[in-house]
Structure 1
Amino acid sequence: MKIIFAGTDDHWSHYQTTLPAAFKRAEINASITRDLDTHDADYIVFAPNGPLSDFTPYTKTKAVLNLWAGVETIVGNATLTQPLVRMIDHGLTQGMVEWVSAHSLRYHVGMDAHIHGQDGTWRNTSWPTLAETRRVTVLGMGALGTACAQALRSIGFPVTGWSRTQKTIDGINCLSGDAGLDQALRTADILVLLLPLTDETNNLLDAEKLALLPDGAFLLNPGRGPLIDDEALLAALDKNIAHATLDVFNTEPLPTDHPYWAHRQVTVTPHIASVTRAATAADAIARNIVRIENGETPIGLVDRTAGY
């Protein structure tokens, strides 16, 4: 079996030992190359910022295995006719669960007031309500959204999940469709954005949608930067949005003169909510190759018509 690793030198530094080790554990006999002229490759392990953009010569390739969860930069590539598989792995999911849970609890228990209020004042006149009174909405109920929703529910938050298609998940109030989206936003004391980026979700959180959030709502965006209309969010921070923690942006790195940096109601994190970790991602790639070789559908197979 021949496998091309189409990633940057930095990617390869992380995968040159973990990927062969994962293949060995999965009992896959494969040779891995970075030579893009290996047109008879069985599989391509692909990074969207890597050296490969024309998939036309790879007529024997059974699947292109994306190193990232997001596929918006490749799914529209007209030369890509091979099956595309996005990254779904334990490390990526667990990292996202931890980031979303941490910042949701930060908002819920009011940590900022004490972290930033070390001025000798004993502030014991208010305290957080229980999680059962703080409503959370997760937009996007894929693997990451579902895992985060379930984790928040286990803490005690009442959780609503919204997705393009209707889903049923124990303990989660699942909604779909335009009317369901508006309902989900109206009941979001904490809003978590984990939608894929498509034509339909680009600037989904515009002025109209942000105005539906309750007064004092908190917003977390570890999904995709273009889900939010930046100007609309900046205006909403003067109205009904108490604070926003943003991990992803329309332009990355976030320009030094961007208003988010200096805004007292915005926390910027540098796209670190969850990253693909080579150790767990390599195992996910190996398991999917085994599935394909056994005639099974790989986990994370992309629906081109939906865009994710």
Structure 2
Amino acid sequence: MKVLVHINDAERWQEALATRLPEAEIFTSAAPADKRREADYLAAWKPPATLLREPVALKGIVNLGAGVDALLNNPGLPANVPIVKLRDAGMAQPIGDYVRYGLLHFQRDFDRYRRQQHARQWREHAPLDKADWPVGVLGLGAIGARVAAMIAADGFPVHGWSRSPKTLPGIHCHHGDAGLEALLGRVKSLVLLLPDTPATRHIIDAEALARLPEGASLINPGRGTLIDEAALLAALGNSAAEGRLRGALLDAFPEEPLPAASPLWSHPRVWVTPHMAGPTPLEAALDQVAEALRAFESGEPLDAVDPTAGY
């Protein structure tokens, strides 16, 4: 088996994969073009279209991340080549911690205390109990389900949403359009962990934001395309007056890095982080990649990406 690796720090991935797959020949995209064309499998994160077109008999692709939108939208993606992706690989824990931080930020009024500090105001706010702070989690895949469980274990009532029905212990599960409408109307914080698909782009638009209770907050460690930015800014209001939405903690954006001219940078009720919520733990990811490549080679059933669904 010949495996072509393309990712930042590809040499480290190459070396670590070689210890797990001693029977394989593993090389990076820095190899000569003749060698790249021989690849049976591609393990990559956001490969260029030219690289995707090079292998002449590619049997499978391992996407080295949970989001596959960049790969599926790549014009060089070969047709009918099965794709598998990382389906957690340790990312759920740091994403859950990011969400927990965001929830406490708003539930314990740290956003308001920060503004009071700048104004030299000494004023205490009576906090709501966690039990009175319902949280909505949109997306109940491998990561979303784990994050929802972590939040519930902290004492927050959790409402989860997915396209199709799901049952998760301790989570109030909703599905479909009616379920989304019901969820939006009852949560104080909304967490976005959906994939980027045609059905989810701008799922948080002006209509969705208007359904949230006054003073709700938004936390997005998922995909930047889930939010209509103009609608978000309108819901947030301006520096002089708080809008319908209390604040937003945003880690993902349609264009990354976030352009310097974006009004999100300077908005007083927006917190921007540089797509750092869920770093991929290398060792756990490598184990999953090796397992997927062996399954490809042996013909075992795969939990493959559905290009039509987008995940």
Q: TM-score normalized by structure 1?
A: 0.89
1:217 partner letter: A
Residue 65 in structure 1 maps to residue 59 in structure 2: no
Residue 280, structure 1, aligned to residue 284, structure 2? yes
User: CA distance change for structure 1 residues 33 and 53 in 2, over 3 Å: closer, same or farther?
Assistant: closer
User: Corresponding residue for 1:307?
Assistant: 310
Distance in 2 of aligned mates of 1:225 and 1:127 = 33
Which range moves more in the overlay, 176-185 or 90-99? 90-99
Q: Give how far 1:49 is off.
A: 3.8
* Correspondence for 1:262 among 263, 266, 273: 266
CA distance in 2 between counterparts of 1:89 and 1:20 reads 22
CA change 1:86–1:264 in 2 (3 A) is same
* Equivalent residues of 2:88, 2:143 under 8 A apart: no
Q: Aligned with 1:74: secondary structure?
A: helix
Question: Does 1 or 2 have the higher relative contact order (CA < 8 Å, sep 6+)?
Answer: 1
Give, in angstroms, the shift of residue 94 of structure 1. Answer: 1.7
Amino acid at match of 1:212: R
User: Which residue number corresponds to residue 203 of structure 2?
Assistant: 204
**Residue in 1 aligned with 2:240?**
none
CA deviation profile, 1:250-299 (whole Å, cap 9, x unmatched): 21111112111111111111111112232221111012223444543335
Q: How far apart are the structure 2 equivalents of 1:105 and 1:13?
A: 39
Q: Deviations over 1:155-183 (max 9, x none)?
A: 01111111111111111111111111111
What is the CA–CA distance in structure 2 between the aligned matches of 1:109 and 1:128, rounded to whole Å?
Answer: 6
- For the residues of structure 2 that align with 1:92 and 1:168, how far apart are their CA atoms? 22
Partner of residue 249 from structure 2, selected from 233, 242, 245: 245
Query: 1:104 and 1:52, CA in 2 relative to 1: closer, same or farther beyond 3 A?
Result: farther
Aligned ranges for residues 93-112 of structure 1 at < 5 Å? 93-112=92-111
CA distance, structure 2, for counterparts of residue 53 and residue 138 of structure 1: 36
Partner of residue 2, structure 2: 2
Tell me, in whole angstroms, the C-alpha distance in 2 between the residues paired with 1:253 and 1:62: 33
SS in 1 for 2:234: helix
Distance 1:277 1:306, change over 3 A: same
**TM-score of the aligned structures, taking structure 2 as reference length:** 0.88
What is the 5 A alignment of 1:28-43? 28-34=22-28, 35=31, 37-38=34-35, 39-43=37-41
Q: Which residue of 2 aligns with 1:18?
A: 16
Amino acid in structure 1 at the alignment position of 2:155: G
Kindly state the Cα deviation for residue 110 of structure 1 after the two structures are TM-superposed. Answer: 1.8
After superposition, the CA RMSD in angstroms is 2.2
Instruction: Give the corresponding residue for 2:46.
Output: 48
Deviation at 1:112, TM superposition (A): 3.0
User: Where in structure 1 are there 5+ consecutive unaligned residues?
Assistant: none
Q: Deviations over 1:176-224 (max 9, x none)?
A: 1111111111112100011111111111111111100000000011111
Give the Å deviation of 1:151. 0.5
Aligned residues of 1:139 and 1:163 also touching (Cα < 8 A): yes
In structure 2, how many angstroms separate the alpha carbons of the residues matched to 1:116 and 1:214?
22
- Paired residue secondary structure (1:73): helix
Of 175-184 and 76-85, deviating more is 76-85
SS across alignment from 2:43: strand
SS of alignment partner, residue 249 of structure 2 = strand
